[in-house]
Copies of this chain bind each other. A is one copy, B any other.
Amino acid sequence: MKIALIQQPCEIDRNSNLQTATEAIHEAASLGAKLILLCELHTTRYFCQMEDPTNFDLAEPIPGPTSAQLGRLAAELQLVIVASLFERRAAGLYHNTAIVLEQNGHIAGRYRKMHIPDDPGYHEKYYFTPGDLGFGPIDTSAGRLGILVCWDQWFPEAARLMALAGAEILLFPTAIGWDLTDDAAERKRQQDAWITIQRAHAIANGIPLLTCNRTGFEPDPAGHGAGIRFWGSSFACGPQGELLAQASSDHAQILIAEIEDNRSERVRRIWPFLRDRRIDAYHGLLQRYRDDS
């Protein structure tokens, strides 16, 4: 199966961002892609650089205008699209939500980001209520998709839970970048760590993984911070963590990769990790910390 990651910079104007994505998806379809992954919050700038209540105006219901527009596109091109939206669920209740548009244009399912970051430049705890749907893969014509979002990628628990629930591919819409006040060595460590830990999720669970990040520089609208230089580098890897394709760090790109159907079955036979998990000794994973130790 051919997949495509739509790595793009995001502008202030929603329609322009969706137009960019739509053109890229058309091109990906013409190249044979049957599964499309967009980057995190691809209809807007990364508005979480500052806390501003007017930004809640950017949220939309699901179903809503963007799910409808991308649903029509999925139906037109006969493929599956994984999109990432700022979901308005109720007044004062918002989520960072990924949705899947099926080939028939319908919403196959949604995932609400479970792990919410909050750091200088990434004020997500202000905007996003932590997800309450758990770690559930979504069945589609392109396989059972384990969709997680950005900060989730630092938590092996999230990937494992998706795999234990039968996910066949892990997918991560992402928005992560550099603080340019960090030196070059620190920037490289951060980017390497981001690649490494996601490849490790593929390895630990014996399934392929797709991650799609935005590119471009976005200034801090408040003028306090140095802004974020999103580092792109979207990639696809196989069930041994082997890189199948990787995008540049600094420009828009349609990254195509081929996911081999039976590779997970073969890899899990040589590395039968699921057989050997010590579930009798994992109860500590449900604790915040072992203060008694």
Contacts and interface: CB of A to CB of B under 8 A. Distances in A.
Interface of A: 114-117, 119, 130, 134-137, 151, 154-158, 160-161, 164-166, 189-190, 192-193, 196-197, 199-201, 203-204, 240-242, 270-274, 276-279, 281-290, 293
B114 A281 contact: yes
Contacts of A284: 134-135, 161, 164-165
B200 A287 contact: no
A243 B155 CA distance: 21
A164 B119 contact: no
23 contacts: A114-B278, A115-B278, A119-B272, A134-B281, A137-B293, A154-B271, A155-B273, A155-B278, A156-B156, A157-B277, A157-B285, A161-B281, A164-B288, A164-B290, A165-B284, A192-B240, A192-B241, A196-B200, A197-B241, A200-B201, A274-B289, A279-B286, A282-B286
Nearest to A190: B240
Contacts of A278: 114-115, 130, 155, 157-158
A242 B188 CA distance: 9
A15 to B, nearest CB: 34
**Copy count, this protein chain:** 2
A192 B242 contact: yes
Contacts of A154: 203-204, 271, 273
Given A200-B156, A200-B200, A240 B282 contact: no
Given A164-B285, A165-B284, 5 more contacts: A115-B276, A115-B278, A154-B203, A157-B285, A199-B200
B190 A293 contact: no
Contacts of A134: 281, 284
Contacts of A270: 119
A122 to B, nearest CB: 11
A268 to B, nearest CB: 12
Contacts of A190: 240
Contacts of A155: 204, 273, 276-278
A134 B290 CA distance: 13
B290 A166 contact: yes
A240 B194 CA distance: 9
Contacts of A164: 284-285, 287-290
A288 B281 contact: no
Given A115-B278, A200-B200, A285 B160 contact: yes
Contacts of A293: 136-137, 165-166
A272 B283 CA distance: 22
